[in-house]
């Protein structure tokens, strides 16, 4: 009898304990809802400084005028020339162009065009084009020829030469044709460049300024520890093919920017007046 009484009391105590616990829980929830809220740990501060991928951060850094000037100074030291200022690098570059059609014949006097003196010679079983710089500085140059019989020129063995830069007083010789066929000079372009710009362009793969493969294949430029990339974006390549972006635009940009860091922006066009745009020229900057 006593045992049954103890079991009844234990069951009643259990139910009372559960009820009391429920009342306490409801009271806590009600208190939190109407009288306050639980304290949470403080929110961490927002990150400060530059954010983005490593490529984005590099691009942001390279777009800084201070970083650009530092590149000019470091590259000038490597090249062994005087470092230009950003203001000097933003000046207009002297540009010449001759688009007259000139016949090129063996034994005939040289043709003077856009600051160059040009003639043809025979070298063994090939006809070569000799180009001499007559202006008082290094020049970037672009010489276009046209042969009456293209097949006679496409098979010419390339000769090693600098297809990008003609140094002051210097000359370069490139292979043209394997036979003496009617040959015409159809376009000559030159851009006068300073010492650091000349050094920049001498490293550049000719493809980056849109030179024809028949010309570019013989190019021997300046080798450096950090070579330039040879890729061209589809947008820029399309602009070159359509004629929206010209040789002058491309040379003008790379004469002012190290090719290891900066890529030609599709909106860039040659600077035609001093200080026309700020440097460095990057996508979205004017």
The model's pLDDT over 203-231, given as tens digits with 9 standing for 90+, comes to 999 999 999 888 888 999 888 888 888 78
Which residue is it, tokens 């947008």?
Answer: 235
**pLDDT for residue 185 is more than 50:** yes
pLDDT over 90 percentage in the chain: 63
Residue 10 confidence (pLDDT) above 80: no
Instruction: Please give the pLDDT value at position 27.
Output: 52
- pLDDT of 172 > 80? The answer is yes
Confidence of residue 32 (pLDDT cuts 50, 70, 90): very low
Beta-bridge mates of residue 250:
none
In this prediction, residue 15 carries a pLDDT of 53
**Structure confidence at residue 284 (pLDDT):** 62
DSSP 31: H
How confident is the model over 13-26, as pLDDT tens digits?
Answer: 545 554 555 554 54
pLDDT at residue number 16: 52
| 105, 129 contact by CB (below 8 A) | no
**pTM higher than 0.85 for the full model?**
no
pLDDT, mean of residues 102-116: 96
Rounded-to-integer distance, Cα 35 and Cα 263, Å: 62
Mean per-residue pLDDT of the chain:
83
Is residue 136 pLDDT above 50, yes or no?
yes
pLDDT reported for residue 181? 84
> CA torsion sign, 22 to 27 to 28 to 29?
positive
On the question of pLDDT at 1 being above 70, the answer is: no
Mean pLDDT, residues 176-182? 86
* Strand-strand pairing, 95-98 and 102-104: unpaired
């Amino acid at each position: 009898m006593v045992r049954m009484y103890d079991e009844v009391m234990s069951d009643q105590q259990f139910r009372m304990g559960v009820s009391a616990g429920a009342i306490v829980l409801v009271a806590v929830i009600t208190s939190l809802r109407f009288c306050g809220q639980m304290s949470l740990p403080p929110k961490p501060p927002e990150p400060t400084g530059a954010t983005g991928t490593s490529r984005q951060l590099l691009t942001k850094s390279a777009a800084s005028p201070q970083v650009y000037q530092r590149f000019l100074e470091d590259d000038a030291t490597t090249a062994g020339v005087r470092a230009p200022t950003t203001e000097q690098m933003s000046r207009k570059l002297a540009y010449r162009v001759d688009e007259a059609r000139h016949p090129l014949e063996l034994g005939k006097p040289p043709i003077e065009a856009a600051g160059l003196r040009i003639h043809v010679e025979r070298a063994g079983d090939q006809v070569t084009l000799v180009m001499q710089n007559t202006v008082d500085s290094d020049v970037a140059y672009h010489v276009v020829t046209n042969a009456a019989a293209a097949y006679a020129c496409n098979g010419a063995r390339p000769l090693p030469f600098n297809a990008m830069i003609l140094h002051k007083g210097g000359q370069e010789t490139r292979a043209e044709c394997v036979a003496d066929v009617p040959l015409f000079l159809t376009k000559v372009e030159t851009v006068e460049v300073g010492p650091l710009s000349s050094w920049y362009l001498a490293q550049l793969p000719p493809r980056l300024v849109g030179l024809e493969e028949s010309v570019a294949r013989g190019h021997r430029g300046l080798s450096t520890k950090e070579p330039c990339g040879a890729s061209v974006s589809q947008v820029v390549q399309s602009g070159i093919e359509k004629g929206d972006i010209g040789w002058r635009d491309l040379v003008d940009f790379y004469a002012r920017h190290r090719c290891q860091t900066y890529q030609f922006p599709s909106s860039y066009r040659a600077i035609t007046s001093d200080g026309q745009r700020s440097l460095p020229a990057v996508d979205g900057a004017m």
